[in-house]
Amino acid sequence: MFGAAGKAPPMELVRLAIPRRAYTQSHIDYVVEAIIELFGRRNELRSLKIIEKPRRCGISRRDSQRCED
């Protein structure tokens, strides 16, 4: 998302979506610990460069044969 005058925001955000009733509290605790560990090592980690865009295919049966390049 871009703010005023088309400038990029000062930070990039990642959305963490968790399905309801699929995971226990221990699963969530493990994920939280991993995120805290990554945040602590953020200066050691290099950024990623996307070199190829994956093909997008429809998820419905009707669209399953159609793929977008």
Length of the chain measured in residues: 69
pLDDT in tens, 12-62: 777 888 888 889 999 999 999 999 998 899 889 887 777 877 776 666 555
Contact 45, 38 (CB under 8 A): yes
Q: How confident is the model at residue 20, as a pLDDT?
A: 82
Q: How confident is the model at residue 16, as a pLDDT?
A: 83
| Single pTM value for the model | 0.49
Q: How confident is the model at residue 42, as a pLDDT?
A: 86
DSSP string for residues in 4-68: GGGPPPSS--------TTSS-HHHHHHHHHHHHHHHHTTTTPPPP---SPPPEE-SSTTTTT-EE
pLDDT in tens, 5-21: 667 667 777 788 888 88
Binning pLDDT at 50, 70 and 90, where does residue 68 land? low
